[in-house]
Chains A and B, each alone.
Chain A
Amino acid sequence: MTPLAGCLLVSALLFSVGLAGALTRRSAILVLAGIELMLNAANLNFIAFWRFGAHPEFLTGLIFVIFSIAVAAAEAAVGLALILAIYRHARTSDVSEITEMKG
């Protein structure tokens, strides 16, 4: 197996772990953590393709990862603020108990 395929497999595993966590956990905070893991898996793919792909001198993958980390920081801040606001409103951060908008 080449290093690129190894990176892609690790990234796929990490994405699946994050997805499983986001879909199965009750705590809204861990759902957010699962989403962060999925985002990180995508970042690992960008780095792997930048490292082993053609024209690494253009820095495309690397710059994309830097911007992606900045976006993830903003996303985590807003997401956790939302969880705090929901907790204050509903007195729980359990996603299976927040059913006010259920149709």
Chain B
Amino acid sequence: MGMTFSFLILAIMTLAGGVAAMTMRRLVHCALALVVSFAGLAALYLNLGAEFAGLAQLLVYVGAIAILIVFAILLTRGGEGEPGGAFSPAGIAGAVVALAVFAVLAWAVETSGLAHQAVAVAAPQTTMREIGFALMQRYVLPLEVIALMLTAAMIGAVILALREKRHEPAGGAAQKQGMRA
């Protein structure tokens, strides 16, 4: 059995979105192309039978991370485009490295035997109930660790993004106010 038609379309959509996100000049356009890529991946997960992961991907990536990226672009005045060109001076070397990585990965997939070996194609029947039980029983410790890490990351992000306070001697601001009055 080959790949299904829907898989091909979704794969092309994901890859086109990724390529557009990495090559377009205006950062806002890049962010929108990134949304297409993330949505395509979510649809790929749904296509592969992982409904919960697909919807989580849609919520987290399309709903949250894309918005965060757009906010970051607007807050750093990246919406006007990059003055010195979109690509860094060592861009060619980076592209060559990426091509080499793809060549190695494709070679590994081709020679691993997975490309020709017949695999089980019956879709696993996974219910939300089973995922919930797995999260609450077998994987409860990772779940708690993730909860702690998300809290720590949230506090860390807020502290990092807080505006730095001017370091003035104690009472300096009050004195200035008094002098002005």
Q: Is B171 an interface residue (CB 8 A)?
A: no
Contact-residue size bin, chain B (C-beta under 8 Å from the other chain): 35 or more
Q: Is A101 an interface residue (CB 8 A)?
A: no
Chain B contacts for A71, CB-based, 8 A? 146, 149
Instruction: Out of A3, A32, A40, A94, name the residue touching B4 (CB < 8 Å).
Output: A3
Instruction: Out of A13, A24, A27, A43, name the residue touching B27 (CB < 8 Å).
Output: A27
Interface residues of chain B: helix, strand, loop or mixed (majority): helix
In the complex, chain B residues 44-99 whose Cβ is within 8 Å of any chain A Cβ: 44-45, 48-50, 52-53, 56-57, 60-61, 64-65, 68-69, 71-73, 75-76, 78, 82, 84-91, 93-95, 97-99
Total contacting residues, chain A, CB less than 8 A = 74
Interface residues of chain A: helix, strand, loop or mixed (majority): helix
Instruction: Assess whether B109 is in contact with A8, with CB atoms less than 8 Å apart.
Output: yes
Chain B contacts for A70, CB-based, 8 A? 60, 146, 149-150
Chain A interfacial positions (CB closer than 8 Å to B)? 1-10, 12-27, 29-30, 32-34, 36-37, 40, 43-44, 47-48, 50-54, 56-57, 59, 62-63, 65-67, 69-78, 80-85, 87-88, 93-97
Q: Top 5 A-B pairs ranked by shortest CB distance?
A: A23-B94, A21-B22, A74-B153, A56-B124, A20-B98
